Amino acid sequence: MDYKELMEKAEKAREFSYAPYSHFNVGAALLAKNGKVFTGCNIENATFTPTVCAERTAFFKAISEGVSKFEALAISGGKEGEPPSFCAPCGVCRQVMAEFCDENFKLVLGTKENFGVYGLNDILPFAFTKKELK
Ligand code: THU
């Protein structure tokens, strides 16, 4: 699967975003090494704290189904009712990526017409990882 196709899946997943408080809709498409794609959207809550990002929804769907080796993640985000624009993942989601993704993992950020491809180390240098706990 190419990155444009992965971004299209993220844009489609964004349609399911539940964001009545922030009015900021995010979709994610996570490509696993076995070729499967897991999508996610942000899901907000009236008490705010349980809100989960699109990226973690996608990761936790995959991991909870026994898939934990990943190749790439496309993220599509932007204000409700507007076309998506560049949306970088939050720090918590970056930390989840650091737990499960290797140095070859790629982030696809932007839109299907105009996206950039980044390494995890580009967006989370000096990560605290499981290596520290050995
Ligand atoms: N959000 C995501 O889902 N992913 C990101 O990368 C950034 C932020 C969500 C969380 C919340 O529902 C809304 O966007 C505003 O922060």
User: What's the CATH code of the domain at 70?
Assistant: 3.40.140.10
**φ, ψ of residue 96 in degrees (nearest 5):** -65, -40
Pocket of ligand 1 (CB under 6 A): 19, 22, 24, 26, 42, 44, 51, 53-55, 75, 77, 87, 89-90, 93
- Pocket of ligand 1, candidates 11, 17, 23, 24: which has the most ligand atoms within 8 Å of its Cβ, to mutate? 24
| Residue located nearest, by CA, to atom 14 of ligand 1 | 24
Residue 74: the pLDDT is: 98
Alpha helices (runs of H) in 26-102, residue ranges in sequence order = 54-63, 91-100
Q: How far is the CA of 64 from the centre of ligand 1 (A)?
A: 21
Task: Name the nearest CA neighbour of 107 among 98, 120, 126, 94.
Answer: 120
Domain hosting 82: range is: 3-133
Decide: helix, strand or coil at residue 70: strand
Is 55 a catalytic site residue? yes
pLDDT tens for the 134 residues of the chain, in order: 899 999 999 999 999 999 999 999 999 999 999 999 999 999 999 999 999 999 999 999 999 999 999 999 999 999 999 999 999 999 999 999 999 999 999 999 999 999 999 999 999 999 999 999 99
Residue 15: the pLDDT is: 98
d(CA 48, CA 19): 11
Residue 1: the pLDDT is: 86
Residue 115: the pLDDT is: 98
Alpha helices (runs of H) in the chain, residue ranges in sequence order = 3-14, 54-63, 91-100, 120-123
Domain tally for the chain?
1
Identity of the residue numbered 125: P
Q: Which of 55, 71, 80, 103 is catalytic?
A: 55
* Residue pair 74/10 in contact by the 8 Å Cβ criterion: yes
Residue 110: the pLDDT is: 98
| Residue located nearest, by CA, to atom 13 of ligand 1 | 24
* Residue 77: half-sphere exposure toward Cβ, Cα within 13 Å: 22
